[in-house]
Amino acid sequence: MSTKSIQIRNQNFIMHYSGALYWNEKSSLLISDVHLGKISHFRKFGAAVPQAAIHKNFQTMDTAIDFFKPKTLIFMGDLFHSSLNNEWDIFEDWVRLIAAEIILISGNHDIISPLKYEALGIKVISELILDTFLLTHHPEERDELFNFSGHIHPAIRLSGVGRQTVRLPCFYKTKSQIILPAFGEFTGSHTMHPIEECEIFALLGDAVLPVPIKEVKQKRYFRNS
């Protein structure tokens, strides 16, 4: 099951196994925390990260875009990990092939000048309000608005037989908010804890798997990160 559909305030959304979220009525694809440039940053300081990993993020974005064919592509912050490096050149070439309008909601890692993005036709903003939905990088609570965000890199830890555990990235949804998983490779994650009436959708390979919260609580699958 490569996708999972949900409805929020009479709007229809589709979660993709890549970590992207498609908003059907707006023909918009939301992607958070790609952290482009991080792999090159690691390699610069001697980390043994394969060169081919640099292209993985772009290939995965292409997969999600080709699947949904959105009119608008919204990056929910931390598109680039830090300052300019050779991945910016790859990004420039990639953007020129994208037909959709591109918007960047600025995150704490987005320190590259907005002028660089604007030269590529990318709009850079601090937040976006569409109808009764608030799109931000950091999770926020604001009266009467449902919040889409990233930043936290949510994950769950599941336990199996023999005390084996696995931590999986996830979509983490509450009554007023949904936090998107980190899209990029080598981004790390933060283990979340279930609260009343939350919904959790784990990413495993090419699947989006709903996690039964009652079962999770009973078996104590969630732990501190």
The mean pLDDT of the chain is: 87
Angstrom distances, CA of residue 98 to CA of 2, 34, 61, 166: 23, 16, 11, 35
pLDDT at 202 over 80: yes
**Domain covering 3-219 assigned CATH 3.30.70 in the classification:** no
pLDDT per position as a tens digit, 65-91: 999 999 999 999 999 977 677 889 999
> Using CA atoms, how far apart are residues 184 and 60, in angstroms rounded to an integer?
9
- Domains of the chain, by residue range, sit at 3-219
pLDDT at residue 53, as a whole number: 67
Question: Which of 187-191's residues contact partners 24+ apart within 8 Å by CB, and which partners?
Answer: 187/33, 187/35, 187/38, 187/153, 188/153, 189/153, 189/154, 189/155, 189/225, 190/152, 190/153, 190/154, 190/155, 190/225, 191/155, 191/156, 191/157, 191/167, 191/222, 191/223, 191/224, 191/225
> Using CA atoms, how far apart are residues 84 and 144, in angstroms rounded to an integer?
38
- pTM for this entry: 0.88
Higher pLDDT, residue 109 or 161:
109
Residue with tokens 């050149």: 89
pLDDT per position as a tens digit, 107-135: 998 889 999 999 999 999 999 999 999 99
> Using CA atoms, how far apart are residues 198 and 148, in angstroms rounded to an integer?
14
Which pLDDT band holds residue 48 (cuts at 50, 70, 90)?
A: very low
